[in-house]
Amino acid sequence: MTASPSSNRELTAPPSSNRELTAPPSSNREQMKEFSKKRSRGSFESLPSACEASLKSGSTSKSDRLLKPTEHRLEKPNVKEGQVGLNDLGEGAHVIYVPDAFERERSKELFHRLSSGIPWEQKEIRMMGRPILQPRLIAYMADDPSMTYTYSGSTLHPTGWTDDVLKIKKKIEEVAGVTFNSCLLNHYRNGQDHLSWHSDNERLYGPSPTIGSVSLGATRDFMMKSILDPPEKYCFPLGGGAALVMRGTVQDRWLHCVPKRARVKDARINLTFRSIICAEKAAH
């Protein structure tokens, strides 16, 4: 999900969002040992029930371990856990979270097919008035070649749909209850690739747009924070076939990002589906 062209740059995440927790001041050696253990193994208690059941089933495969939270972000009192199903954020903002929209083996297959079958690019964008390489790879598809998409000083020209992306599109449309006509694909090569704080409030999507996404591969934290009350945050772990839909006033009242996660070594692909209702030439 990408920054608004109106700002012509991606918003940078506050420094605190990417920090790991540090040990509390204490002279008690046993407390320090216990804190260190918690840091190294993470906690399963904050996972959605579908993920928790998988982790506690006894499996220790690499794909299972990717479902763990990637940081200790839910130990912070101002970060709320996103719940499976409908999340009412208030003031007409709603998020639908389905961690197992795609069966695990099917999601692995799609991940590998998209990794090798999509013509990924690393685009140059402008941030703070200077050109930089975007910290992830992208591709863009839409119903019509005229459905260009401009953000951060870079204009994307869509290619046609592939069969795999159309199948994913059909699934997320069932979850969202709407149809989409464009898709931005983001390939996060590891935990260093990221997406800064922004909202998808571009004019070409109209007021209160419904936006759907599907995530394949490694699990990454999808963070949301209130524009009016920035300390209020939500976290949705997305990966391995998870789907998420934002609708209502989300883009007017909330920002979202995918922060860096140093512990994540594997790749993730996210497909973000939107409906263009006012082409860019008409919007301008």
Question: Could you tell me the two tokens for 260?
Answer: 């860096």
Dihedral Cα 135, 139, 143, 144, nearest 10 deg: 90
Higher pLDDT, 104 or 132: 104
Q: How many CA atoms lie within 13 A of 99 on its CB side?
A: 25
* Entry field: residues in the chain: 284
Under 8 Å between Cβ of 208 and 252: yes
**Residue 133, helix vs strand vs coil:** strand
pLDDT of 5 above 80 = no
Find all residues with CB under 8 Å of 157, minimum gap 6, and list them: 140, 145, 148
User: Is the four-CA dihedral 11, 17, 20, 23 of positive or negative sign?
Assistant: positive
- The 8-class DSSP code of residue 9 comes to S
Average of per-residue pLDDT values in the chain? 80
Under 8 Å between Cβ of 191 and 267: no
Write the pLDDT tens digit of every residue in 212-244: 999 999 999 999 999 999 999 999 999 999 999
Identify the CATH number of the domain defined by range 5-283.
2.60.120.590
Predicted confidence band at 131 (pLDDT cuts at 50, 70, 90)? confident
Instruction: Classify residue 113 by burial, with Cβ atoms within 10 Å: 0-12, 13-18, 19+.
Output: middle
**Cβ neighbours of 24 (radius 10 Å):** 8
Q: How many CA atoms lie within 13 A of 2 on its CB side?
A: 32
Predicted confidence band at 198 (pLDDT cuts at 50, 70, 90)? very high
